Amino acid sequence: MTLHEIAEWIGVEYNGTNIDIASMNTLKEANGNEISFLSDSKYEKELLDTKAAAVILPAAKAALLPAGVIALISDEPYMSVAKLSRCFVKPICSSNESPIIGAGSIIYPTAHIENGARIGDNCTIMSGVYIGADAVIGDDVTLYPNVCVYRDCKIGNRVIVHAGSVIGSDGFGYAHTKLGEHIKLYQNGNAVLEDDVEIGANTTVDCAVFGSTIIKQGSKIDNLVQIGHNCVIGEHSIMVSQSGVAGSTILGRNVVMGGQSATAGHLSIAPFTTLAARSGVTKSITKAGVYSGFPLMEHKLWLRFQAKLAKILES
Per DSSP bridges, beta strands 142-143 and 124-125 are parallel
Please state the length of the chain.
Answer: 315
User: In DSSP terms, which residues pair with 297 in a beta bridge?
Assistant: 292
Distance CA 299, CA 307 (A): 12
Name the residue among 250, 223, 122, 111 with its Cα closest to residue 165. Answer: 223
Do 24 and 188 touch, CB atoms closer than 8 A? Answer: yes
Q: What is the DSSP string of 31-73?
A: -TTEEEE--SGGGHHHHHT---SEEEE-GGGGGGSPTTPEEEE
Residue type, 89: V
Q: Is 162 among the residues known to form the active site?
A: no
Per DSSP bridges, beta strands 204-206 and 174-176 are unpaired
Which residue among the candidates 229, 236, 266, 299 is catalytic per the annotation? 229
Do 135 and 149 touch, CB atoms closer than 8 A? Answer: yes
Q: What is the DSSP letter of 222?
A: -
Distance CA 221, CA 200 (A): 6
Catalytic annotation, residues? 229
